[in-house]
Amino acid sequence: MKKRVFSGIQPTGEIHIGRYLGAIRHWVAMQDNYDNIICVVDLHAITVPQDPRLLKHRIKEFAGLLLAVGIDPARTILFVQSHVHEHSELAWILNCFIPMGWMSRMTQYKEKAAKQKEQVSVGLFDYPSLMAADILLYDTDVVPVGDDQKQHVELARDAAQRFNNIYGEIFTLPEPMIADVGARIMGLDDPTRKMSGSEEGPNHAIALLDGPDVIRAKIMRATTDSLKEIRFDESRPGIYNLLTIYHAITGEKKQAIEAKFEGKGYSDFKKALAEAVVEGLRLIQERYKQITSEKGYLDKVLAEGAAKATPIAQKTLARVRKAVGLG
Ligand code: AQP
C-alpha cells in the first residue's frame, strides 16, 4: 500500500515561484511513489474578501497550471474543494473539538488579522480547522507543504489525536513534509518577508505565467545588499534568496553555484538567474496554453477528480458522524 499524500493550494493571487518551488514541484515528483490527492481550496480563499469573477477564473487557472507543471490526473486526484461538501461538514465537527487556544496561536492568522483589523472574518480564524478537515478526510499520511503551513499541519495532527483519544482510531495521523530546498522563498522586493500571493507590489513575486521580459525586469530589480560576494550566507537575505531560487530551479549544487559566480558581480548573477527562471518556466507556459486551448478538458478533469474524491471523503465522514452520535 502506497502512503497517501494530500496537499492544497489556495486560488488567490498568482501561482508564484514560491508556491512552485516550495510545494508544487514536490507534489509532481511524489506522484510515482505515493497515492496523491491535490485540491484547489476555494473555500479557504473566501476567508478573505474575493472578487467572485476573479475567484472563478483563478480556480480554473490554478487547476490548469497544476496540470501544466506535471500533475497527472491518471496518477493524482485533482479536484476543487467546494465540489466535495464533506470538507465543510467535517470542518464544523472539528470546530467543536479544537480548543480556541490552539487556534489563537496560529501565526498566519495573527499576521493576516493584523492587516485586516476589525474586518477579519470568523472564517479566517477557522482556516486551520477547514485545513484539518481537508487532510483528515482522506486518511492522509503525508502533507508536503512550504514552511509557512507546517504549524497548520501540526494542528491537524493534534486535532486528529484529540479526537482519536475520545472516540478510538477514527483518523490517520498526518505528518508535514518540508522540502530541504525552497521551503521558504522570500519576496524579491523585501527578502525578509515570505513571497506571498496576496502581496500587491509589482516586483514582489514572479508568477508562473510571467513573460520572459517581466521575469528579467523583476529579477534585475530584486533587492540585494551593497556587498559583492555571491555566497549562500543567510545573514544577507537578498542574495541568499536569489541563490536559493537559482539552486532550486537549476538543481545545481550550492558549492558549484558559488564557484561558478566567484569574482562576478550581482548583475551577472541576476542575468544568469533570470535566464534560468525564464527557461524553467518556458515549458510550463507552453503546456498551460495547450491545456487551456482544449475546450472542456479542465472541467472534465475536475469533475472526474471530485467523483473520485467524494467516496473517500464520505467514508471518513460516515465514521466520524457515527463516532460522535450524529443523525
Ligand atoms: N514563499 C513560499 N515559499 C515556499 N513555499 C510556499 N508556499 C506558499 N508560499 C511559499 C507553499 O505553497 C503551497 C500552497 O500555498 P497556498 O496557496 O495554500 O497558500 P499560502 O501558503 O497562504 O500562500 P501565499 O502565497 O502566502 O498566499 P496568501 O498570501 O494569499 O495566503 C503551500 O504548501 C505553501 O506552504
Average pLDDT over residues 165-170: 97
Instruction: Calculate the average pLDDT of the chain.
Output: 96
Q: Per-domain residue ranges for the chain? A: 4-178+295-324, 212-290
| Cβ–ligand 1 contact at 150 (below 6 Å) | no
| Cβ–ligand 1 contact at 13 (below 6 Å) | yes
Average pLDDT over residues 121-133: 97
Residue 1 confidence (pLDDT) above 90: no
pLDDT grade for 123, boundaries at 50, 70 and 90: very high
Average pLDDT over residues 302-325: 98
pLDDT at 168: 97
Cβ-based neighbours of 277, under 8 Å, separated by 6 or more: 17, 206, 215, 219, 245, 249
Asked: is 212-290 a CATH 1.10.240.10 domain? The reply is yes
Distance 143 CA to ligand 1 centre (A): 13
Residue 44 confidence (pLDDT) above 80: yes
Nearest CA to ligand 1 atom 19: 10
pLDDT at 286: 98
What is the number of the ligand 1 atom nearest to the C-alpha of 108?
Answer: 22
| Cβ–ligand 1 contact at 12 (below 6 Å) | yes
Nearest CA to ligand 1 atom 26: 196
Write out the E strands in 137-205. 142-145, 175-178
CATH code, 4-178+295-324: 3.40.50.620
pLDDT grade for 116, boundaries at 50, 70 and 90: confident
| Cβ–ligand 1 contact at 195 (below 6 Å) | yes
Q: Are 167 and 323 in contact (CB under 8 A)?
A: yes
pLDDT grade for 57, boundaries at 50, 70 and 90: very high
User: Do the bridges between strand 4-9 and strand 35-40 make them parallel or antiparallel, or are there none, so unpaired?
Assistant: parallel
pLDDT grade for 80, boundaries at 50, 70 and 90: very high
Average pLDDT over residues 281-310: 97
pLDDT grade for 4, boundaries at 50, 70 and 90: very high
> Side chain identity at 277, as an amino acid letter?
V
Cβ-based neighbours of 109, under 8 Å, separated by 6 or more: 103, 124, 125, 127, 128
| pTM for this model (two decimals) | 0.94
| Cβ–ligand 1 contact at 148 (below 6 Å) | yes
* % residues pLDDT > 90 (the chain): 91
What is the number of the ligand 1 atom nearest to the C-alpha of 19?
Answer: 12
Distance 12 CA to ligand 1 centre (A): 10
pLDDT in tens, 195-240: 998 777 889 999 999 999 999 999 999 999 998 899 999 999 999 9
pLDDT at 179: 86
pLDDT at 228: 87
For the four alpha carbons of 248, 253, 255 and 260, in that order, the dihedral sign comes to negative
What is the number of the ligand 1 atom nearest to the C-alpha of 197?
Answer: 25
Q: Are 55 and 42 in contact (CB under 8 A)?
A: yes
What is the number of the ligand 1 atom nearest to the C-alpha of 185?
Answer: 3
